[in-house]
Structure 1
Amino acid sequence: MAHVYQPDAIDLRLLQALQIDGRAPFSRIAEVLGVSDQTIARRFRRLRNETRLRVLGMADHSRLGRANWIVRLRCTPDAAESLADALARRPDTSYIGLMSGGTEVMCAMKPKSRQDRDELLLDQIPRTRRVTSVDASCVLSHFYGGPLGWLNKIDTLDSAQEAALRPDAPTAAEAPVDLEPLDEAVLELLRHDGRATVTELAAATGQTEAVIKRRVRRLRATGVLYFHVEYDHEPFGHGTEAVLWLKVDPSRLRAVGQTLAGHREVRFAAAVSGRANVVVSVLCRTTEELFAYLADQVGAIEGVQDVEAVPTLREVKALIYTPRR
């Protein structure tokens, strides 16, 4: 009989601790959770092997004055997987999903400049063979997501434990943060491994450890750097993912977004440009739970005029690209 991984309460607490502070030493996590350092190290290795756990350092583009885009690409059925794989290899995409029906690819992209955006949206994608339509939406305002991960909602840690793990809040910034080439290099390294040691970062950049410590500290203090915990959801009982495109009364946009942000099922919610002016990523246990969420919660929100629910067949890229074997 095939081995079936069964995560327990300690695993869940470890995941939430890593979401709160992705670079927290195992010794500090162990102290807060009341277990040994060896237990945390062993659980981390097991989660990495069994659920492909990774802690990723991400750049908050809103702190950099950069716009994010969500693109829906429709194509012929024989082209969807190859298109998704090609987009996933790009460093400026953070999420790629093959959606229900097998003819739609959803892409979240974070271009560093207007020129990069235009090259992709106006030149490269429209010229791609077998792409039948492109619908690009600019993210106007985040309601949930980014530094606020879904694991913040699982409530396995009490308030005292969360406070003991939570780093200092980023300073408020009136103007976008300017990055130097070294900052970009550090962010790129942390994008692949958010727990890379200062020694490893120093060796990869040719800088001293003191310089790297200061750079990482500044990136965190300004809110540019945050951490995302990536892992397979199915072993934890969540096997149904979907993207909801909502048409919302403009006067109710902020209120609807705040309501959605409080829902346990919501991983990401944002106001976007386009006819569907709110996009939501949800995670449920079953299709029946997804139906109940749509009927009982989303359907009851004042101001929601229309909902298109698109189940995710497969995540091709969830922040970091892992080629299919």
Structure 2
Amino acid sequence: MHDSCPVDETDLSLVHALQIRPRIAWARLARVLEVDASTLTRRWARLERDGLAWFSTYPVAGPGWTGHDWHAGAFVEVECLAGARDAVMARLARRRAVWNIDATSGRRELMLTVLAPSILALDEEVAADIATLPGVRATRTHFFRRIIREAASWRLDSLSPAQQRALGPGDARTRQPLGTRDLELLRLLGPDARLPATAVAARLGCSVSTASRAIRRLLANEHVSVRCEVAHHAAGWQVAATLWLDVAQRELTSVATAISRLPEIRLCVTVGSAANLVVQVWLHRMEDLDGFEEHLAAGFPGTRVIDRWITPRFGKRLGHVLRPDGRRTGFVPFVAPADG
């Protein structure tokens, strides 16, 4: 850190706890962390204010998905004209369909995560709205086949096992279609899973008790995920890498499932490309990538790394616009307003 607001071990423990139980009461969390509730409240307010930690609440597709606009996803490589990368990132950040923007190494300047209602709609988004932006030279699209793991399950690992158990179990997960009211609530909670029920009630025009039940029901839905995110550089993760793997098709499901359980993994997805499996990892140091790849080679013989990209900077993560140092500066909703 280079300023007066460092992320210390208590901050990391706080974020880890909120990754597990996003809406846990401060008083209960105070007992687990053995830190005064008012201190935790002030710390979280500072982390949010300084862009060091934040929430993302977002829809996820899956079996029985009958939600809104996310039936197809892809990684989209973007090549930029010389000197145009930052301007292109700023333009892309305003697009609702562009959920993530990674500045990467290699022949492309950017890698986007794009979601759309269908493969055809996603192709149109890329061809008409991304490839035509000033400063864009070329694009390449790699469609998702199946998401094995996404970063909602990634943890800081700052709490002891006993502390994690003390947080208690969350609500039992259900799988229900997302209705119009659910999507409006999802829009409200998108940048802040801890938004008070009183604020939700005022926005939705209902009672506080009704809002509380709706929030609890939505966050227990398997079609909704919540992340408590952290500015990775400030928290000690200096390296983000994307590995493109070639796995024998008969072993793809078993290998992908096993790799997805590794603690370094932020994302594991099968794709329709020269590679058939893509994993994204966060590491503390560049040299840690050697050890990680050696582990893959030893544990999964026959799995070949086709390409590897380093991401020195994230421009956007799940709708949150980020500074070069990884701090949050704003939010672009991915759920459209109810009126369109």
TM-score > 0.5, shorter chain as reference: yes
Q: Do the aligned partners of residues 191 and 323 (structure 1) sit closer, same or farther apart at CA in structure 2, a change above 3 Å counting?
A: same
Q: What residue identity is the alignment partner of 2:212?
A: K
Residue equivalent to 1:59: 59
Within a 5 Å distance, the mapping from 1:219-258 to structure 2 comes to 219-258=218-257
Shift of 1:280: 1.1
Q: 1:84 aligns with which of 89, 100, 108?
A: 89
Verify: 1:166 aligned to 2:169, yes or no.
yes
Which deviations, in whole Å up to 9, do the C-alpha atoms of 1:274-297 show, x marking residues without a partner?
111111111111111122222x21
Residue equivalent to 2:336: none
Shift of 1:118: 4.1
Residue equivalent to 2:335: none
Verify: 1:24 aligned to 2:29, yes or no.
no
Q: Do the aligned partners of residues 93 and 22 (structure 1) sit closer, same or farther apart at CA in structure 2, a change above 3 Å counting?
A: farther
Residue equivalent to 2:99: 94
Q: Secondary structure at the match of 2:307?
A: strand
RMSD (Å), alpha carbons:
2.6
Shift of 1:138: 2.4
Contact in 2 for aligned 1:145/1:269 (Cα 8 Å): yes
Q: Do the aligned partners of residues 102 and 36 (structure 1) sit closer, same or farther apart at CA in structure 2, a change above 3 Å counting?
A: farther
Residue equivalent to 1:125: 130
Residue equivalent to 1:14: 14
Distance 1:6 1:79 in 2: 32
Residue equivalent to 2:195: 196
Q: What residue identity is the alignment partner of 2:271?
A: V
Contact in 1 for aligned 2:72/2:122 (Cα 8 Å): no
Q: 1:142 aligns with which of 136, 143, 147?
A: 147
Which deviations, in whole Å up to 9, do the C-alpha atoms of 1:188-238 show, x marking residues without a partner?
111121211111112223333233223222222322222111221223221
Shift of 1:2: 5.5
Q: Secondary structure at the match of 1:283?
A: strand
Q: TM-score, normalised by structure 2?
A: 0.83
Distance 2:257 2:59 in 1: 23
Q: What residue identity is the alignment partner of 2:282?
A: L
Which deviations, in whole Å up to 9, do the C-alpha atoms of 1:77-99 show, x marking residues without a partner?
33322222222212232211111
Q: Secondary structure at the match of 1:30?
A: helix
Contact in 2 for aligned 1:17/1:162 (Cα 8 Å): no
Residue equivalent to 2:258: 259
Q: What residue identity is the alignment partner of 1:25?
A: A
Q: Do the aligned partners of residues 194 and 246 (structure 1) sit closer, same or farther apart at CA in structure 2, a change above 3 Å counting?
A: same
Q: Do the aligned partners of residues 102 and 208 (structure 1) sit closer, same or farther apart at CA in structure 2, a change above 3 Å counting?
A: farther
Shift of 1:170: 0.9
Q: TM-score, normalised by structure 1?
A: 0.87
Distance 1:274 1:114 in 2: 15
Percent identity of paired positions between Structure 1 and Structure 2: 27
Q: What residue identity is the alignment partner of 2:91?
A: A
Q: Secondary structure at the match of 1:22?
A: coil
Q: What residue identity is the alignment partner of 2:55?
A: V
Shift of 1:51: 5.5
Verify: 1:43 aligned to 2:43, yes or no.
yes
Distance 1:47 1:14 in 2: 10
Within a 5 Å distance, the mapping from 1:284-323 to structure 2 comes to 284-294=283-293, 296-300=294-298, 301-322=300-321
Q: Secondary structure at the match of 1:207?
A: coil
Residue equivalent to 2:326: none
Q: Secondary structure at the match of 2:44?
A: helix
Distance 1:266 1:140 in 2: 18
- Gapped regions of structure 2 (runs ≥ 5): 324-328, 330-340
Q: Do the aligned partners of residues 69 and 33 (structure 1) sit closer, same or farther apart at CA in structure 2, a change above 3 Å counting?
A: same
Deviating more after overlay: 211-220 vs 111-120: 111-120
- Gapped regions of structure 1 (runs ≥ 5): none
Q: What residue identity is the alignment partner of 1:142?
A: I
Which deviations, in whole Å up to 9, do the C-alpha atoms of 1:5-35 show, x marking residues without a partner?
5544332221111001212121121122233
Q: Secondary structure at the match of 2:153?
A: coil
Distance 1:113 1:202 in 2: 33
Distance 1:52 1:264 in 2: 22
Q: Secondary structure at the match of 1:196?
A: coil
